[in-house]
Amino acid sequence: MTETPATPIAPLDERAAWFTADRFGLFVHWGVYSAAARHEWIRSREKLTEEQYQPYFEHFDPDLYDPVRWAEDAWNAGMRYFVITTKHHDGFCLFDSALTDYTSADTPHGRDLIAPMVEAFRARGFKVGFYYSLIDWHHPEFPVDLYHPQRDDADYIKATEGRDVTKYADYLHGQVRELLTNYGRVDLMWFDFSYSGRGFNAKGAPEWRSAELIALCRELQPHILVNNRLELGVGEGPDTGDFTTPEQVQPPGHENEFAGSAVPWEACQTLNGSWGYDRDNLDWKPPGMLVRMLLDTVSKGGNMLLNVGPTGRGEFDPRARAALAGVGEWMRLHEPAIRGAGRSAFVPPADCRYTQRGNRLYLQVLSWPMKHLHLAGLAGKVAYARFLHDHSEVKRVEYDPKNPFHNHLKGLPEGTLTLSLPMVAPAVEVPVVELILKD
């Protein structure tokens, strides 16, 4: 699209300032698949027909849904924005759409589930994000493709040959218009996903009419951030996405440094490998691992979007709540090392990461060493050092060849600052030393 949008769009670094400061968000995958309780892709994985999938719709009744409680759990975990699946690949909508009756308002529950969540989370101080699936296995004009539940059903494919993806795109654009019109300010739009060239009836920007779609988002909510899954590229102005979305991986470094600027990135992560509620899954990540993922991400200049798959009754189950509480206990004491922090130009010692916020350099110690940590290039640059969790001083030593008590430090490269550490690590998931740099 070369047309200039009606409303001028602020530069990406201005629009994304809240996002790259917040650093930590809540992803929520919730839908009728939560009632099946075995992954959000079950309709495709098990090749279920519409009829076979229908019981989950007919029995979806989240009687314990309490978004105020969700907001409290997420806030206490240290999260400051959320992204909720307004519609997933199965086509089921958590919002009351005028364009379909395949929504939560048409289940026994009978209500729009997005509005109360937006209200509760916004009131608590969260930024609002909507996930919307570009894929739709329910829509009558969505052509069967390589991911569709009926991909191996020759008769079904034959019978649906006349489907018109343009009509489906009209529906998709109409629903995005509803989402960006009926819920007040929306800060972020998270589309999922494009797969041009992957095989049978693969779809991407041409089928979704992505250029038109992103223009619509920017017209309705000029401040909005849009992710990279529309297949339009990223970080090159309003016609492209605003951030990248590595999924279930820890990238080796900052993802997008090109054209002299760093385009935001956000790693989306699960608690147990599944996005939707998955009752029998045993792959729960311990809180310590989640904390390490978060700080590793921020040390590389990224955000982490951590997912919870609520149950069919509308609750975060006890395992999810325990994971959030574990991260929250660390975040309570270490927030300054995450919020508003990012990459540092200093190179950390082995088994450590740095995050930095202005003149505060945070040394995150992943594996506790015996007695000393040697920090390259920091001699003469640190005014004060302390543990972040309790503000107790951490003593510093700068090697002086003339000092007879420094004999044991011999051989350290020039410019090294040494920290004297207690033998026993502080009782937190990852200890952090706050180094206050001289101006």
Applying CB under 6 A, which residues contact ligand GLC? Answer: 29, 40-41, 192-193, 247, 268, 275
30 or 65: CB nearest ligand GLC: 30
Q: How far is the CB of 20 from ligand GLC (least distance, A)?
A: 19
- Summarize the chain as % helix, strand, coil (round to 5): 30, 20, 50
Residues forming a β-bridge with 373:
419
Q: How far is CA 267 from the centre of its chain?
A: 5
Instruction: In angstroms, give the least distance from the CB of 275 to ligand GLC.
Output: 5
Nearer to ligand GLC, 41 or 82 (CB): 41
**Nearest distance from residue 363's CB to ligand GLC, in Å?**
31
- The two tokens of residue 270 are 């699960």
The whole-angstrom separation of Cα 349 and Cα 64 is 48
End-to-end CA distance of the chain: 46
* Residue among 41 and 399 whose Cβ is closer to ligand GLC: 41
Are 377 and 347 spatial neighbours (Cβ–Cβ below 8 Å)?
A: yes
- Cβ–Cβ < 8 Å for 311, 34: yes
Q: Which is nearer to ligand GLC, 77 or 268 (CB)?
A: 268
Q: Which is nearer to ligand GLC, 53 or 193 (CB)?
A: 193
Q: Which 8-state DSSP code applies to residue 242?
A: S
Q: Using DSSP, state whether 137 is helix, strand or coil.
A: coil
Q: Edge-to-edge, what's the strand order for the sheet holding 417-420?
A: 372-375, 417-420, 395-398
> Could you tell me if residue 230 is left (phi over 0), alpha (psi between -120 and 50 degrees) or otherwise beta?
alpha
Find the shortest distance in angstroms from Cβ 131 to ligand GLC. 7
CB of 86 to ligand GLC, least distance (A): 12
Q: Closest CB to ligand GLC among 33 and 362? A: 33
We find the least distance from the C-beta atom of residue 193 to ligand GLC, in angstroms, to be 5
Structure tokens at 204: 């991407």
Q: Which is nearer to ligand GLC, 243 or 275 (CB)?
A: 275
User: Considering beta carbons, is residue 106 or 247 the nearer one to ligand GLC?
Assistant: 247
Which residue type is seen at 429? Answer: E
Q: Which two tokens stand for residue 248?
A: 């279930």
The residue written with tokens 């009754």 in the block is 313
CA 104 to CA 22: how far, in whole Å? 31
- Closest distance to ligand GLC from the beta carbon of 246 (Å): 9
217 with 176: CB under 8 angstroms?
A: yes
What are the beta bridge partners of residue 436?
360, 384
For the chain, state the CA radius of gyration: 24
CB-wise, 28 or 118, nearer to ligand GLC?
A: 28
Least distance to ligand GLC from the beta carbon of 84, Å? 11
Give the nearest distance from C-beta 40 to ligand GLC in angstroms.
5
Instruction: Tell me the closest approach of the beta carbon of residue 247 to ligand GLC, in angstroms.
Output: 5
Q: Which is nearer to ligand GLC, 93 or 268 (CB)?
A: 268
Report, in Å, the least distance between residue 158 CB and ligand GLC.
27
Instruction: Write out the DSSP string of 291-349.
Output: HHHHHHHHHTT-EEEEEE---TTS---HHHHHHHHHHHHHHHHHGGGTTT-B--SSPPP
Q: For 99-105, which contacts have Cβ atoms below 8 Å and span 24 or more sequence positions?
A: 99/171, 99/174, 99/175, 99/178, 100/138, 100/139, 100/171, 100/175, 102/57, 102/138, 104/60
Complex with ligand GLC: residue 49 or 248, whichever CB lies closer: 248
Whether the Cβ atoms of residue 138 and residue 91 lie closer than 8 Å to each other: yes
